């Protein structure tokens, strides 16, 4: 039998790395503020424009307030900056140091709370939501009055999708740069310690689980080959792999979504091609609609081809460590979980049995045959925790 290990961002977070989207956004704005503090009157990139709006000197109180900002809520509520009100001096006080103009429409909406939902928690999902919204406008053109039922209207609506994609691409590149900064900090004394779950990936399967899940007439009870599909852009897992001197020929590690050092090759977008609206977008004929759909980028990666060959080669178990099993990876996860060779699914957790309910729900969304899915899942074990260090 074989073993497939899926590594997600929860693994990096459990290792103490600030790799969440919230961590990135907070760092992004704070870095812009500090750039102005260090002598620049203004900071500008493709997404934001920041300027010093207060003549008072920066002091220790400012530094204290800056260090206290660790969340999106804290960033937006702290009086250190005014967002999107560059001409409204009414909001500027002696405490206010910066005026921030967010130029990216996508980023503006990310920072807003919609129906009590934090848009930035699932950025790839939010992107697809906006893509659907803009595409529906194109679909509804035939229903408009004659005055607006024309090519000009179509091009205007298509431009909103082009703008969305450009904003999303800028975000991807900024995020990759941030992950690079985090990854560089892993060298030397700052490298993280392996988690207990890291060493468990080479543990043999128990005889009970082998008898329960696998066809004994078609495979051996020993773990013959281990394929680690690392969905992170960081080298965290790879570094631990090398540090532990795992030189076995039967273990391979692939960064399935690419690596921070090559942002142009990172797979970043959405992967639910089973969505009812997706088929319409694919049939529409404009490539801009499919620019960030993951299924078009996977075949270009050798790691994806190797993964597909691996799951077809023999019966295998899946271990999920720190992966949310979100819909943004559905096209790939569905291929794995519904493969007839997938016999057992082991879900690592964060130490609470209640967390498993969410994992089961997320897993269910990738499987059409619910009964078959339930037969594959290994029950909760308190020892299968992802957030323990050695």
DSSP 228-249: EEE--SSSHHHHHHHHTT---T
Sign of the torsion angle spanned by Cα atoms 311, 312, 313, 314 = positive
Coil/strand/helix, residue 285: coil
pLDDT at 244: 62
Q: What angle do CA 46, 109, 279 make, to 5 degrees?
A: 95
Show Cβ contacts of residue 112 under 8 Å, excluding neighbours closer than 6 positions.
119
pLDDT at 65: 86
CATH number assigned to the domain with residue range 2-17+186-258+301-376, chosen from the 4 options 3.30.70, 1.10.10, 1.10.3470, 3.40.50:
3.40.50
pLDDT at 21: 94
Show Cβ contacts of residue 228 under 8 Å, excluding neighbours closer than 6 positions.
5, 7, 201, 237, 241, 251, 252, 253, 254
**Per-domain residue ranges of the chain:** 2-17+186-258+301-376, 21-108
CB 32 within 8 A of CB 253: no
Show Cβ contacts of residue 17 under 8 Å, excluding neighbours closer than 6 positions.
182, 186, 192, 234, 236
Which 3-state string (H, E, C) describes 93-133? CCCCCEEEEECCHHHHHHCCEECCEEHHHHHHHHHHHHHHH
In the chain, the N- to C-terminal Cα span, in Å, equals: 28
pLDDT at 89: 40
pLDDT at 212: 95
pLDDT at 225: 93
- What region, left, alpha or beta, does residue 379 occupy, with left being phi > 0 and alpha being psi -120 to 50 degrees? beta
Q: Which two tokens stand for residue 52?
A: 């010093």
pLDDT at 27: 95
pTM of the model: 0.89
Mean pLDDT by 10 residues, the chain (390 residues): 94 86 94 86 91 75 87 86 57 69 91 81 92 93 85 92 95 92 65 62 91 93 93 83 64 89 88 86 90 90 94 96 91 94 92 81 91 92 69
pLDDT at 247: 57
């Amino acid at each position: 039998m074989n073993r497939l290990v899926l590594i997600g961002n929860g693994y990096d977070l459990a290792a103490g790395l600030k790799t969440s989207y919230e961590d990135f956004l907070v760092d992004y704005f704070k870095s812009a503020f500090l750039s102005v503090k260090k002598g620049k009157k203004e900071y500008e990139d493709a997404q934001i424009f920041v300027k010093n709006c207060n003549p008072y000197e920066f002091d220790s109180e400012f530094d204290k307030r800056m260090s206290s900002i660790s969340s999106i809520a804290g960033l937006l509520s702290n009086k250190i900056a005014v967002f999107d009100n560059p001409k409204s001096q009414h909001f500027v006080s002696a405490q206010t140091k910066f005026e921030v103009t967010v130029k990216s429409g996508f980023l503006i909406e990310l920072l807003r709370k919609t129906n009590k939902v934090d848009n930035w928690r699932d950025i790839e999902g939010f992107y697809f939501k906006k893509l659907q919204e803009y595409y529906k406008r194109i679909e509804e053109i035939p229903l408009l009055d004659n005055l607006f039922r024309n090519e000009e209207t179509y091009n205007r609506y298509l431009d909103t999708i082009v703008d969305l994609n450009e904003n999303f691409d800028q975000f991807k590149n900024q995020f990759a740069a941030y992950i690079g900064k985090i990854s560089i900090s892993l060298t030397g004394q700052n490298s993280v310690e392996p988690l207990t779950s890291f060493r468990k990936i080479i543990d043999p399967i128990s005889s009970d689980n082998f008898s329960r899940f696998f066809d004994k007439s078609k495979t051996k009870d020993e773990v013959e080959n281990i394929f680690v599909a690392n969905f992170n852009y960081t080298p965290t897992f790879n570094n631990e792999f090398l540090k532990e001197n795992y030189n076995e020929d039967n273990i391979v590690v692939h960064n399935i979504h690419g690596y921070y050092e090559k942002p142009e090759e990172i797979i970043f977008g959405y992967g639910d091609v089973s969505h009812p609206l997706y088929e319409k977008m694919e049939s529409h004929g404009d490539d801009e609609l499919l620019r960030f759909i993951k299924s078009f980028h996977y075949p270009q990666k050798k790691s994806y081809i190797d993964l597909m060959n691996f799951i077809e080669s023999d019966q295998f178990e899946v271990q999920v460590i720190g992966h949310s099993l979100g819909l943004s990876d559905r096209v790939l996860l569905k291929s794995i979980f519904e493969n007839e060779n997938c016999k057992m699914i082991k879900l690592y957790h964060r130490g609470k049995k209640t967390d498993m309910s969410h994992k089961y729900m997320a897993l269910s969304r990738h499987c059409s045959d619910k009964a078959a899915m339930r037969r594959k899942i290994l029950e909760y074990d308190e020892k299968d925790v992802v957030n323990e260090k050695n």
